[in-house]
Structure 1
């Protein structure tokens, strides 16, 4: 396990592309930086918002968890 910082849900919520410039999402305890993704511009991806834990929402997505492999982990969700 890498030595990444730990963030709580309130700190993650600020990384929504509006309150802070970072665009982050969490999945299964990992926090990913999706700022460079054209699909997350303005902190929104279809009906999903950045700054949230998407673990439960992924089951309704047209893709699998493998989508997160292309993004850098920046921390862990506490």
Structure 2
């Protein structure tokens, strides 16, 4: 089994749907690829922006962390 790749906050920030085509978000130290999600088109989901750690913001979300189960983990946030 391959080890999961690690990324810095700076590398995550570039995957915001604007600077690079990938749309990534982090939650609890893991980075998820949400590029194919229609809810993240353009790198924005309601008041949340891609390319950042959303762990603290989930407290105010109308859903639980189970929402991340449908997305592929592509790395760990350093």
Whether TM-score is above 0.5 comes out as yes
Q: TM-score range by the shorter chain?
A: over 0.9
Distance 1:47 1:56 in 2: 13
Distance 1:54 1:44 in 2: 12
Residue equivalent to 1:58: 58
Q: Which runs of 5+ in 1 are unaligned?
A: none
Which consecutive segments of 4 or more residues in structure 1 shift more than 4 A? Answer: none
Distance 1:34 1:22 in 2: 8
Give the TM-score taking structure 2 as reference length.
Answer: 0.97
Cα distance, 1:4 vs structure 2: 1.1
Give the TM-score taking structure 1 as reference length.
Answer: 0.97
Distance 2:67 2:36 in 1: 14
Instruction: Give the number of aligned pairs.
Output: 77
Q: Which runs of 5+ in 2 are unaligned?
A: none
Q: Once superposed, what is the RMSD of the aligned Cα atoms? A: 0.8
